[in-house]
């Protein structure tokens, strides 16, 4: 495949990657080898789920970023990543018995997981010079290729006390704090890569948070001229280097700052330059517009999200590259072993999962039973509650944003109870955090927990499990029997938890939104909830699917149920992974020119 030609091939020829892969120690004890790195692509993201013990992510965006880097490492893509250290993490969620969320800081062991890099760079914030350094953590792929992550840190003695806390809290503080963080991420990050001797050809902004990297690139293009002189030619030069992925059609998900705020924090010259370049919208500095103006390739994260984004931003060409999950990360242990046994090359070549269609159903059922047991044990550990492995179990876990409608399942509580009775039992597991400032989200959680108490007992058991994070996500998506998703269309840009479920043989019941539009084959990979005007009608469709299709199938037609499990893996696990996704980024976003030439040469030589 053409994409392989432009990836780092050294490891595939049996030679170790020089210096980096020679390292046998954990990532915190190696010499500074950054100058030997090849960094053709720089990937910038405000959050990245790097390791479960590193609290540097909040949810879907960060998990996707981490899965992207893990796939890039597997494929040998010459890529480096930039994020912030987030020394105090996002937050650990505590839930009172009656369902009130409180938040606790989650500092993590920065020194145990990262190594400081030598260079210090400076960014201007509110007229002050703030020092930024990088802490490095390496992600190693299945073939040994390393993708380094540079976690930016302002907690250095050169800085005043307040500035030392700028890289502490992910999505914490007010909008001033956020803008300062975005200066560190974008401008600080781009300068740091140069200070490390890296010269990426492509800068990938994962969401608008990273848009200020374009300021550093404009500055570089100006080569000493002042920002006041920056014009269309300079902007065009920066545009050639940038790629932008937008992640949500929800307006609140697009960062905006008042022009006053921008002038004060970012400086008048920089703000004026961004305004001239087209980065202001409706009287505010809008990070999505900054990123759009400065990018030669822009994409949404699923087919429908590309179309919705195109309508939101007419005048820009917006493509779609559908998200995925890192298969080696999200397959549960029993399925890792099953895939290793039947599809030995699957970790290097995820397409091989397509041949899961040849794995005997009994082995899939056995692996799933083990995954369910792991979940039941973990729930016992975390809550003291006993679940039954032989009772049909539904999972619902995601950020408690209102459009996700976590209470849709309770629209007609009596019907839910009746279904549980009719089929001899039903277990429903919930999890999800609400952003500390998201009061409507918090009251959704409260409502679900209240209803869980009210309705549980007898044959229906509903549990809300505290503190949804990486490990719990893995246990839930692999251990339940059905993955439920009820967003209000078209607000779910992609969604990835259903992809994790599919990889583990767990079918979805979902509104046809985000990725499910592409992954859904009725009765083969799961089931659709009708997308209707009225919420009550959508809930009706959900109950009818459970009552008349899904539970009867589970109970009375084991063979067909097992085929659904298997086709979830074969059809959806083989496509909705970040290996396919990163290949699409390489082909379409990062190196389109090169591939065009490559392909032409191949064609030309074939025709001789």
Ligand X SMILES: *Cc1c(COP(=O)(O)O)cnc(C)c1O
In sequence order, the 6+-apart residues with CB closer than 8 A to the CB of 546 are 419, 509
Residue among 165, 139, 161, 142 nearest 150 (CA): 139
Asked whether position 468 contacts ligand X by CB under 6 A, the answer is yes
Rg (CA), the chain: 24
Q: How far is CA 101 from CA 190, 232, 365, 429, 440, in A?
A: 37, 49, 37, 17, 12
> Least Å distance between CB 15 and ligand X?
35
Asked whether position 300 contacts ligand X by CB under 6 A, the answer is no
Instruction: Give the residue with the Cβ less far from ligand X, 191 or 500.
Output: 500
> Least Å distance between CB 471 and ligand X?
8
The region of 21-29, 452-460, 491-499, 526-534 touching ligand X under the rule CB under 6 A is 491-499
Instruction: Give the residue with the Cβ less far from ligand X, 305 or 398.
Output: 398
> Least Å distance between CB 276 and ligand X?
36
User: What single DSSP character describes residue 448?
Assistant: H
Q: How many CB atoms lie within 10 A of CB 12?
A: 14
DSSP 229-271: G--HHHHHHHHTTEEEE---S-GGGS-EEEHHHHHHHH-HHHH
Asked whether position 469 contacts ligand X by CB under 6 A, the answer is yes
Asked whether position 561 contacts ligand X by CB under 6 A, the answer is no
Asked whether position 398 contacts ligand X by CB under 6 A, the answer is yes
The region of 267-275, 364-372, 448-456, 493-501 touching ligand X under the rule CB under 6 A is 493-501
Tokens 């030609």 map to which residue?
Answer: 5
> Least Å distance between CB 61 and ligand X?
8
The region of 59-67, 239-247, 370-378, 503-511 touching ligand X under the rule CB under 6 A is 59-67
Question: How big is the site for ligand X, counted in residues (CB under 6 A)?
Answer: 12
The region of 380-388, 415-423, 438-446, 469-477 touching ligand X under the rule CB under 6 A is 469-477
Instruction: Give the residue with the Cβ less far from ligand X, 172 or 473.
Output: 473
Question: Is residue 142 a contact partner of residue 347, using CB atoms and an 8 Å limit?
Answer: yes
Instruction: Give the residue with the Cβ less far from ligand X, 334 or 495.
Output: 495
CA 137 to chain centre: 18
Q: How far is CA 382 from CA 130, 171, 406, in A?
A: 42, 27, 21
Residue 23: half-sphere exposure toward Cβ, Cα within 13 Å: 19
The region of 157-165, 249-257, 331-339, 494-502 touching ligand X under the rule CB under 6 A is 494-502
In sequence order, the 6+-apart residues with CB closer than 8 A to the CB of 92 are 103, 104, 105, 106, 467
Asked whether position 573 contacts ligand X by CB under 6 A, the answer is no
> Least Å distance between CB 33 and ligand X?
32
SS3 602: helix
Angle at 569 between CA 568 and CA 572, to 5 degrees: 65
Instruction: Give the residue with the Cβ less far from ligand X, 34 or 510.
Output: 510
Asked whether position 322 contacts ligand X by CB under 6 A, the answer is no
> Which of residues 34, 106, 295, 496 is near ligand X by CB under 6 A?
496
Instruction: Give the residue with the Cβ less far from ligand X, 63 or 265.
Output: 63
Asked whether position 497 contacts ligand X by CB under 6 A, the answer is yes
Asked whether position 473 contacts ligand X by CB under 6 A, the answer is yes
> Least Å distance between CB 110 and ligand X?
21
Return the residue nearest ligand X (CB atom).
473
Q: Is the dihedral of CA 71, 72, 74, 75 positive or negative?
A: positive
Instruction: Give the residue with the Cβ less far from ligand X, 45 or 497.
Output: 497
> Least Å distance between CB 250 and ligand X?
13
Instruction: Give the residue with the Cβ less far from ligand X, 247 or 368.
Output: 247
| Window 212-251: contact mask with ligand X (x via CB under 6 A) | ----------------------------------------
Instruction: Give the residue with the Cβ less far from ligand X, 68 or 270.
Output: 68
The region of 251-259, 496-504, 567-575, 584-592 touching ligand X under the rule CB under 6 A is 496-504
Q: Does residue 490 have a cis peptide bond before it, meaning omega lies within 30 degrees of 0?
A: yes
Q: From CA 216, how far away is CA 382, in angstroms rounded? A: 46
Q: From CA 202, how far away is CA 297, in angstroms rounded? A: 11
Q: How many helices (H) and strands (E) does the chain have?
A: 25, 21
Asked whether position 508 contacts ligand X by CB under 6 A, the answer is no
Instruction: Give the residue with the Cβ less far from ligand X, 265 or 542.
Output: 542
Instruction: Give the residue with the Cβ less far from ligand X, 60 or 324.
Output: 60
Instruction: Give the residue with the Cβ less far from ligand X, 86 or 415.
Output: 86
Q: How far is CA 459 from CA 385, 417, 420, 448, 551, in A?
A: 15, 8, 6, 18, 14
User: What single DSSP character describes residue 226?
Assistant: -
Q: From CA 312, how far away is CA 307, in angstroms rounded? A: 9
Q: From CA 576, how far away is CA 524, in angstroms rounded? A: 16
> Least Å distance between CB 510 and ligand X?
10
Facing residues of 95 across strands? 101
Instruction: Give the residue with the Cβ less far from ligand X, 34 or 497.
Output: 497
> Which of residues 495, 507, 526, 573 is near ligand X by CB under 6 A?
495
Asked whether position 59 contacts ligand X by CB under 6 A, the answer is yes
Q: From CA 84, how far away is CA 65, in angstroms rounded? A: 13
CA 47 to chain centre: 9
User: What single DSSP character describes residue 81?
Assistant: E
In sequence order, the 6+-apart residues with CB closer than 8 A to the CB of 485 are 396, 398, 404, 492, 495, 497, 498, 508, 509, 510, 511, 513, 516
Tokens 């369902």 map to which residue?
Answer: 99
> Which of residues 20, 63, 149, 265 is near ligand X by CB under 6 A?
63
> Least Å distance between CB 254 and ligand X?
18
> Which of residues 6, 60, 209, 586 is near ligand X by CB under 6 A?
60
Residue among 209, 279, 266, 185 nearest 239 (CA): 279
Residue among 215, 206, 208 nearest 125 (CA): 215
> Least Å distance between CB 409 and ligand X?
16
Instruction: Give the residue with the Cβ less far from ligand X, 427 or 497.
Output: 497
Instruction: Give the residue with the Cβ less far from ligand X, 305 or 500.
Output: 500
Q: Which residues bind ligand X (CB under 6 A)?
A: 59-60, 63, 398, 468-470, 473, 495-497, 500
């Amino acid at each position: 495949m053409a994409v392989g030609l432009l990836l780092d091939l050294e490891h595939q020829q049996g030679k170790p990657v020089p210096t980096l892969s020679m390292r046998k120690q954990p990532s915190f004890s190696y010499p500074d080898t950054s100058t030997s790195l090849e960094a053709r692509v720089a990937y910038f993201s405000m959050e990245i789920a790097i390791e479960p013990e590193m609290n540097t992510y909040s949810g879907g965006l960060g998990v996707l970023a981490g899965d992207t880097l893990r796939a890039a490492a597997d494929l040998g893509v010459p890529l480096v990543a930039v994020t912030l250290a987030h020394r105090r993490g996002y937050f650990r969620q505590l839930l009172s018995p009656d369902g009130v969320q409180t938040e606790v800081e989650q500092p993590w062991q920065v020194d145990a997981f990262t190594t400081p890099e030598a260079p210090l760079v400076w960014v201007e914030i509110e007229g002050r010079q703030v020092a930024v350094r990088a802490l490095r953590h390496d992600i190693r792929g299945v073939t040994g290729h390393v993708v380094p992550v540079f976690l930016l840190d302002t907690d250095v003695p050169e800085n005043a006390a307040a500035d030392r806390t700028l890289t502490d809290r992910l999505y914490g503080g007010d909008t001033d704090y956020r803008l300062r963080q975005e200066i560190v991420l974008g401008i600080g990050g781009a300068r740091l890569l140069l200070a490390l001797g890296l010269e990426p050809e492509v800068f990938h902004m994962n969401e608008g948070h990273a848009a200020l990297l374009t300021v550093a690139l404009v500055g570089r293009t100006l080569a000493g001229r002042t920002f006041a002189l920056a014009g269309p030619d300079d902007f065009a030069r920066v545009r050639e280097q940038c790629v932008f992925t937008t992640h949500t059609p929800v307006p609140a998900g697009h960062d905006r700052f008042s022009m006053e705020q921008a002038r004060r924090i970012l400086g008048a010259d920089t703000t004026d330059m961004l305004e001239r370049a087209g980065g202001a919208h409706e009287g505010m500095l809008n990070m999505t517009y900054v990123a759009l103006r400065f990018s030669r390739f822009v994409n949404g994260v699923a087919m429908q999200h590309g179309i919705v984004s195109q309508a939101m931003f007419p005048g820009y060409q917006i493509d779609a590259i559908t998200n995925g999950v890192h298969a080696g990360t999200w397959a549960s242990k029993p399925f890792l072993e099953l895939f290793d046994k039947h599809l030995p090359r699957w970790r290097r070549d995820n397409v091989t999962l397509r041949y899961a269609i040849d794995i005997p159903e009994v082995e899939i059922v056995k692996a799933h039973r083990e995954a369910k047991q792991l979940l039941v044990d973990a729930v016992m550990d975390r809550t003291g509650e006993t679940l039954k492995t032989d009772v049909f179990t539904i999972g619902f876990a995601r950020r408690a944003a209102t459009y996700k409608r976590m209470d849709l399942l309770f629209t007609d509580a009596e019907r839910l109870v009746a279904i549980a009775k009719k089929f001899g039992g039903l277990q429903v597991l919930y999890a999800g955090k609400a952003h500390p400032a998201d009061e409507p989200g918090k009251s959704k959680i409260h409502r679900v927990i209240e209803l869980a108490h009210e309705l549980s007992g007898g044959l229906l058991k509903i549990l809300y499990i505290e503190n949804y994070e990486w490990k719990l996500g893995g246990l839930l998506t692999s251990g339940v029997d059905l993955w439920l998703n009820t967003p209000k269309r078209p607000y779910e840009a992609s969604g990835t938890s259903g992809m994790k479920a599919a990889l583990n043989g767990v079918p979805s019941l979902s509104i046809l939104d985000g990725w499910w539009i592409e992954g859904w084959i009725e009765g083969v990979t799961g089931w659709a909830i009708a997308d209707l005007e009225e919420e009550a009608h959508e809930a009706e469709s959900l109950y009818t699917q459970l009552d008349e299709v899904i539970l009867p199938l589970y109970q009375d037609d084991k063979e067909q149920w097992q085929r659904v499990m298997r086709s979830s893996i074969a059809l959806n696990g083989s496509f909705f992974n970040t290996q396919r996704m990163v290949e699409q980024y390489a082909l379409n976003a990062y190196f389109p020119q090169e591939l065009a030439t490559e392909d032409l040469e191949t064609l030309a030589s074939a025709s001789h």
